[in-house]
Amino acid sequence: MTATDHGLLSVLYTSNARAPFGDDELRKLLAQSRASNARKDLTGMLLYRGGRFVQVLEGPEQIVRDLVATIAEDPRHSDMRVLIEQPVGRREFSDWTMGYQPIAETTGAAPEGFRDTFDDLENSRDPSATLRAARELSFWFRVKSQRAQQNADAD
């Protein structure tokens, strides 16, 4: 995103939408955040799943902190929990001012022996499990984005 990627901070938070977000509301939210993030040199990813938001924000530390404080006051959501806040050497979502891919709620238990990514992300008391879950989501996002890109190229 920028040549001066030092002093970067990455924050992942979850929250509850106060009212269900349909496609129009999500489109509006994404347009708003992408325009704002482009101006502020911020990048990240947004997921909306079963009335809950998962968002990753990354960029210059103070700008990220200021935005997180602003988001915390946003009346469109509640119960915001910052699950990960860490300095990073490089951006995970450098190509996205605010990446988005639709994701559905799971409909049953994970296969035997499998972790549940969202369960680990939100409920694990083990910080390493939370971090691993965040990486899994990032990986999932990249795979889905790559497929969307290939499908768009094929059209």
Partner 1 sequence: MSPVDSRSAPRRPRTGTGIVWARVEDGFHVGSRDGDFVGYIDRLPDGRYQAYDSRSRSAGTFPELTAAMRALASPPAATPAADQPPIELREIR
Catalog residues that contact partner 1 under the rule CB under 8 A. 34, 95-97, 99, 103-104, 106-108, 110-111, 113-118, 120, 132-133, 135-137, 139-140, 142-143, 145-146, 148-149, 152
65 vs 42: CA distance, rounded Å: 11
DSSP 8-state symbol, 19 = S
What is each CA distance from 36 to 31, 58, 59, 64, 140, in whole angstroms?
A: 9, 13, 13, 12, 25
Instruction: Name the residue nearer to partner 1 (CB basis): 73 or 105.
Output: 105
Q: How far is the CB of 72 from partner 1 (least distance, A)?
A: 26
Q: How far is the CB of 75 from partner 1 (least distance, A)?
A: 26
114 vs 35: CA distance, rounded Å: 38
Q: How far is the CB of 69 from partner 1 (least distance, A)?
A: 26
Instruction: Name the residue nearer to partner 1 (CB basis): 32 or 62.
Output: 32
**Token duo for residue 127:** 């910080």
